[in-house]
Amino acid sequence: MSVVCPTLLLCVYGFFSNLRPSEPFLTAFLLGPDKNLTETQVVNEIYPVWTYSYLVLLFPIFLATDYLCYKPVLILQATSLVVTYVMLLKAQGLLAMQLLEFFFGLATASEVAYYSYIYSVVEPAHYQRVTGYCRSITLFGSAAGSLAGQLLLSVAKVQLLHLVIITLTSATVAFIAPWFLPMPRRSLFFHKSPGASEERRQHSSTTLLEKAEDSERKVPLNTQKASMISRSSEAESHRSGLQDVLRMLFDDFLQCYRCRPLLAWSVWWALATCGYFQVINYAQALWENICPSSDYEIYNGYVETLSTLLGALAALLVGYLPVCWSLWGELVLCVLSLLMAACVFVMVTPRNIWLCYSSYVLFRATYMLLITVATYQIAASLNMQRYALVLGVNTFMALLLQSLITVVVVDSAGLGLDVFTQFHIYGGYFAVISVVFLLAGLWKLAPKRRPEQDILANSPAETESDSTSKQ
């Protein structure tokens, strides 16, 4: 199958589905005369629905994406986006906006189909290139949408309602593309290629030989376990049942998270992504409190554009950082998590919009740099199946923790705190992450220093005993 056609269609879909000029101004739109909602309704009752929906839908969508071979879920995502912006344009009232957030949570959970579809229709030799295309085009679409929205608002003096119409138009264009994508014939779990079983046997044989030569490799994460090869013929067929897939996922889960470096990066992934989601979800509400859009001209679009582009640049520069991640990874995570905590505190403490904007840009760029490193460190020792599983589990844990924080801190059913208090809590949250990885880094380095000190302490004694024996 040609690589060009599905890659081009997927890039068209990725660009237009992320071209959302209204997104940087969503809070201002909901609080404005078009929807006339209160800040408490938006922050404490509407926005939390997205978090809960994303959490509840993530695992079912993950399985459905693989079982249905990606394309139907891509169409579902495109449909959800269209429904979201039709409701944003036409619907009124609290309940309607909560339903809107549910559909947007469905669209977000379905993103797994976009990022995994291409691997089912191209050969492994093209994975790196097409992945770069698909991820870059989404960032470009997001940045272009934010910049277009800001220019239309500031220069052309377009109303926020018109930005929603443009966003709906872009989502409608994106809705067309997935229908023309070729239907994949294989997937990672339910519809494996006919040669997958033989390939796993060969990989397992190779692993047994490599294991004897590599004493430092505790878990052969990039291959399937030998015990998995002896499953029933039904499980080995290239159309696996749900029970077989769940058993395989559970076995892989236990195998992967026994690897200490992978566990460390996964813990940071889950903790940091939880805090990141909370900050970006409620940043607009913070900006609206510091600089109300009804009284001042706002520049949210420029800020989102700059933060997206700098984040992408930071992700590209990761490969040039002269850091031994296996040795210093935890301490780097500690320092940069502390920087993210400082950014959050600066966003909320001085209550200056320009400091808030600048700190937000630095916060996003730092996160995107670290999440790129974490992705590489996790993917380096995993095959495609286990990579998808680990990222799914990490995202689920991040959403689970985010839901707990949302229930307690944000939701009106919990404490329902104001946005300034929320951001003080988020800053403290990242400071705790920094302390956790400081302790982990020191604990990791301590065993390496003790043997060196023991060697230095023992060397004079050995020299003295050698001289005595010669006498």
The predicted-structure confidence for 206-256, as pLDDT tens digits, reads as follows: 333 333 334 333 444 554 443 343 344 344 444 567 788 888 888 888 888
Are both 253 and 169 inside the same structural domain? no
Judged by average pLDDT, the poorest of 182-191, 333-342, 419-428 is 182-191
Structure tokens at 94: 């609290």
Q: Which long-range contacts (CB under 8 A, 24 or more apart) does 154-161 make?
A: 154/297, 154/299, 154/301, 160/22, 160/25, 160/28, 160/29, 160/32, 160/34, 161/29, 161/34, 161/89
- 227 lies in some domain: no
Same structural domain, 245 and 175: no
Band of residue 316 on the pLDDT scale cut at 50, 70, 90: confident
Pair 290, 164 in one domain:
no
Same domain (yes/no): 175, 258: no
Do 72 and 96 contact (CB within 8 A), yes or no?
no
Least confident of 70-84, 112-126, 225-239, 275-289: 225-239
Q: What's the pLDDT band for 411 if we cut at 50, 70, 90?
A: very high
Which residues sit opposite 239 in a β-bridge?
191
pLDDT score recorded for residue 185: 81
In a domain? residue 351: yes
Q: Which two tokens stand for residue 20?
A: 């959302």
Residue type present at position 222: N
- Quick one: pLDDT at residue 318? 75
Residue 129 above 80 pLDDT? no
Residue 345: other Cβ atoms inside 10 A: 18
Tens-place pLDDT, residues 173-210:
999 999 999 988 877 778 776 554 444 444 433 333 33
User: How far apart, in whole angstroms, are the C-alpha atoms of residue 143 and residue 141?
Assistant: 6
- Between 345 and 132, whose confidence is greater? 345
Tokens read off for 111? 């993103």
Distance CA 5, CA 2 (A): 6
* Helix residue ranges, H only, 380-418: 384-405
Q: Is the pLDDT of residue 282 over 90?
A: yes
Token digits of residue 422? 């929320």
Backbone angles phi, psi at 116, to 5 degrees: -110, -15
Given 182, 203, 233, which residue is the final one in a domain?
A: 182
Q: Are 284 and 27 in contact (CB under 8 A)?
A: yes
**Are 254 and 403 within one domain?**
yes
* Domain extent for 69: 1-182
| Comparison of pLDDT for 379 and 81, the residue scoring more | 81
pLDDT value at position 269? 94
**253, 141: one domain:** no
Q: Is residue 369 part of a domain?
A: yes
Q: Which residue has the tokens 């286990």?
A: 386
Q: Is the pLDDT of residue 361 over 50?
A: yes
Confidence band (pLDDT; 50, 70, 90) for 257?
confident
- Helix, strand or coil, per DSSP, at residue 240: coil
Same domain (yes/no): 250, 120 = no
10 pLDDT above the threshold of 80: yes
Q: How many domains is the chain built from?
A: 2
pLDDT given for residue 214 in this prediction: 41
Contact 14, 137 (CB under 8 A): yes
C-beta atoms surrounding 293 within 10 Å: 19
Residues 332 and 402 reside in one and the same domain: yes
What letter would DSSP give residue 419?
H
Which residues lie below 8 Å from residue 44, measured CB to CB, with a gap of 6+?
410, 411, 412, 416
Share of the chain above pLDDT 90, in %: 56
pLDDT of residue 240: 61
What integer pLDDT is reported at residue 150 of this predicted model? 97
Query: In which residue are the tokens 């949250």 written?
Result: 429
Picking from 332, 361, 364, 356, the residue whose alpha carbon sits closest to that of residue 433 is 332
- Residue range 449-458: average pLDDT? 51
Residue 57: CATH number of its domain: 1.20.1250.20
Does residue 329 lie within any of the structural domains? yes
My answer on whether 273 and 174 are in the same domain is: no
Is residue 213 a part of any domain in this protein? no
Mean pLDDT for 38-46 is: 95
Own/partner pairs, 126-134, CB within 8 angstroms, 24+ separation: 126/3, 130/3, 130/7, 133/7, 133/11, 134/7, 134/10, 134/11, 134/14
- Looking up residue 442, the CATH number of its domain turns out to be 1.20.1250
Q: Is the pLDDT of residue 97 over 70?
A: yes
pLDDT in tens, 435-446: 999 998 888 777
Does residue 71 have a pLDDT over 70? yes
Share of the chain above pLDDT 70, in %: 84
326 and 444 co-located in one domain: yes
Could you tell me which residues come within 8 angstroms of residue 321 by beta carbon, excluding any fewer than 6 positions away? none
- For residue 386, pLDDT beyond 90: no
What's the pLDDT score for residue 319?
67
Take residue 291 and report the two structure tokens written for it.
């600089």
Tell me the whole-structure pTM to 2 decimals.
0.84
Arithmetic mean of pLDDT over the chain: 84
**Considering only 44-48, 235-239, 361-365, which range has the smallest mean pLDDT?**
235-239
- The verdict on residue 222 lying in a domain is no
